[in-house]
Amino acid sequence: MYISKVDIKNYRNFKDFSIELKPFVTVIGENNIGKSNLLEAMFLVLSHDISVYKKRKLEIEDFNFQCIDEFKKSIVEKNGNEITFPEVRVDIYFLEPDEEQEAVINDCWYDFSKKEARISYIYNYCGHRKDELLKKYELIIEQKKSEGLSMYEITKYIDFPIEEYEYAVVCGIDNKPMDNYWLKLMKMEYLDALRDAKLELNSNNGNKLLYRILSDREIEDYADIKEKMVELDVAIKSDQKVLEGLKKDIAFYLEKLSLETETSSNKINFEFGSLEISEILKKIGIQYGDEAISIERNGLGRNNLLYMAVVLAHLYEKQNNYFRLIAIEEPEAHLCPLLQRHLAENLFEEKSNNRKQVIITTHSTHIASYLDLDNTVVLFKDQKKVKSHYLLSGFGITQEEKNSINYLKKWLNATNSTMFYSRKIIFVEGIAEQILIPIFFQWRYKKTIDKANCQVINVNGVAFEHFLKVVKNGYFIKSVVITDSDRDKKTKNRAVELKNTYDSDVTKVFVSEQTTFEKDIFACNSAKKSNREFLVNIVKKIRPVKCDEDFCKKQEIKLDIESMFGCIEDYKSDFAFELSDALNMEMKKNSKTQKFQIPKYIEDAFRFIEGVDVE
């Protein structure tokens, strides 16, 4: 059995969100897109920690802002008539239960034909003074209207009645109350991003992870340990040396300082401590490594790995549970890139157990690029609504589609995976463009391209279509392609075909007017003398012998595009680095004299990324 789908309504940044899940899933996406909120929402349904009962009682900040805003506006506009109080709802759907699991979800059936079950968390208005509230709202509206306040201003005086909301965990198509006994058999372990591995791996507190895991075993499993503890307790009480002498000394002074009562004398004894299993377990700690170093002396990264290993070991060994979900938020915490890669390659090895499901969320491109793309889903915003898209969703079974999948698996490395952590993408075909496009953007807009939440992705050639298929298939994020026209080459139709196939409201292909990127740079800077001199000096640094004094003077008078390109054709990356440095120097000078012009097709690409209409 596994969770196949989660629907979330009005919870935090999710107004109306749905995501399909697999037994092993990686969730990626930019900051503040809702990865943590997804796990928190599922935790409301499946967790049994004491803390979650408090979390199930939501606060006003847990409601989606838009739904609260719409509620208040509806009160003002309808003046108290036909008001609907918003509710938070999280629906979790289960598929493929085995024979034993069917007993657990017997009351949870949602669709018998699919063998699909549903358990839901609902937080809704349960007050009995709705009419009284509506009359109160009417009075507020009348008063504030008489004071000349606008509708928007009036909504600020409408209080949301969250104190009259209650939660319920229900199941099945009829939303029947979920039996708590069966719900306890379906557990979720949530390792949030703020986990304190050092604290959680000490068992001296009943709320900590290590203690919960130790106490989850059968009491009989600890019979041998308890026997040894009893022996130790007997040895302490029968000690005839240090402890016996200390007992006599303490008793002597107690006789002087204290009085005997009817029920107690001044005799004392030593004991090991409580011999209850629950107390014995609190004395167990973990050591890690050949030198048996205490976790107190371990580094943060090592303890983070130990923390995850303890949880996974417990979940995969605990066979008497009907269903376990483990959710790990940011497993990369405190790990170097090498360890992140190793973790990603081994995290999902256990794939055969029908009673375990794993979900991780990550900001690490190192982890994202080494996990199975079939199981990787990205969260993104489309028209202010959060959506989800599996990276390989929409790819068919044709050989062409298979080639695209193979290409993506090869090239979605730690660098290119940044395309899933930003809101805008610029695809380029080579290292020169990768170096210069961010500089051009900063030159044009006086801000970095990172500030614009945009990433430049080098596809290492002209294989744009493999990446554009991901966008076209459902990852609707604003993206542009900056490519050469190659009009004098056999590939002259490539750019036109790209435009015809992929141009849309979210994707645009921008093509150089000249044959190549570099020629366009020379062409658009050929009119002004200061621009010609600026570029000639850069080319001279790269080819000092070829660019002698006579050559430079001719180019400064009238720039010959072919001659200039001939100088740097085999040194494109060198040209890109030198031009980048020169533009950075000009920006530091903050000179008002523009010694460089950006090619028009690149300007148009920037305008599209910035949300300006482009012809």
Cα-based distances in Å from 567 to 116, 436, 448, 484, 542: 67, 18, 30, 19, 8
**What pLDDT does residue 33 have?**
95
**What pLDDT does residue 491 have?**
76
**What pLDDT does residue 341 have?**
76
**What pLDDT does residue 208 have?**
66
pLDDT tens, residue by residue, 58-80: 999 999 999 999 999 999 887 55
**What pLDDT does residue 55 have?**
76
Q: Report how far residue 481's alpha carbon sits from residue 461's, in angstroms, rounded to the nearest whole number.
A: 12
pLDDT tens, residue by residue, 385-426: 999 999 999 998 899 999 999 888 888 876 778 899 999 999
Q: Report how far residue 301's alpha carbon sits from residue 299's, in angstroms, rounded to the nearest whole number.
A: 6
Among residues 174, 57, 14, which one has the least CA distance to residue 107? 174
Both tokens of residue 179? 């039996």
Residues contacting 199, CB < 8 A, separation 6+: 208
**What pLDDT does residue 204 have?**
60
Domain with CATH 3.40.50.300 in the chain: 1-196+299-308+323-390
Both tokens of residue 119? 């358990």
Between 3.30.300.20, 3.40.50.300, 3.30.410.10, 3.40.50.2300, what CATH number should domain 1-196+299-308+323-390 receive?
A: 3.40.50.300
| pTM of the model as a whole | 0.83
Sign of CA dihedral 171, 172, 175, 179: negative
Cα-based distances in Å from 306 to 62, 298, 303, 311, 373: 32, 10, 5, 9, 26
- Name the stretches of the chain with pLDDT < 50: 319
